[in-house]
Amino acid sequence: MKNNYYNEIKNKLIDNEVYKKVKDYSKNRNDLSTYYEVGKLLIKAQGGEGRAKYGDNLIKEYYERLFNDTGRKYNITALKRIRQFYLVVEKGVPLAHQLTWSHYTEILSLSNINEINYSINITEEYNLSVRELRERLKKKNIKYY
């Protein structure tokens, strides 16, 4: 009898862990898709990629308006990073849904597209946490092909 309760408890806890992982994956996937679309809209609002560098005034304006309208802190740096994320993905960098936005913010600090691709592949292959990725990037332990 006790064994039945144990199995039921165990199954409920396992189901809950699976649900949390699926929910986290779904949330992360939605975050990345949203930031990609927002980046695309930022580029369009600024008149295209060629003019995006000069669109910092628009980003500042959007930051202020977003803060006033939503109370959320999508600061200037975050909006610039979202814009950069879109541009990098458009240049052929894979959108790896198992990587979080925090992973991408670390990877976006790299300027070389080959380093970015390599870092994404290594992060996926070794299932690196954000902290582990950050340490590798600090050590410049990046050897890309």
**Per-residue pLDDT tens over the stretch 37-96:** 999 999 988 887 766 556 688 888 898 888 888 877 788 999 999 999 999 999 988 888
User: Which pTM was predicted?
Assistant: 0.76
SS3 content of the chain, % helix, strand, coil (to 5): 75, 0, 25
Contact, 107 vs 123, CB < 8 A?
A: yes
92 Rama class: left (phi>0) / alpha (psi -120 to 50) / beta:
left
pLDDT band at 141 (very low <50, low <70, confident <90, very high): low
Average pLDDT over residues 112-136: 93
- Is the predicted pLDDT of residue 139 greater than 60, yes or no? yes
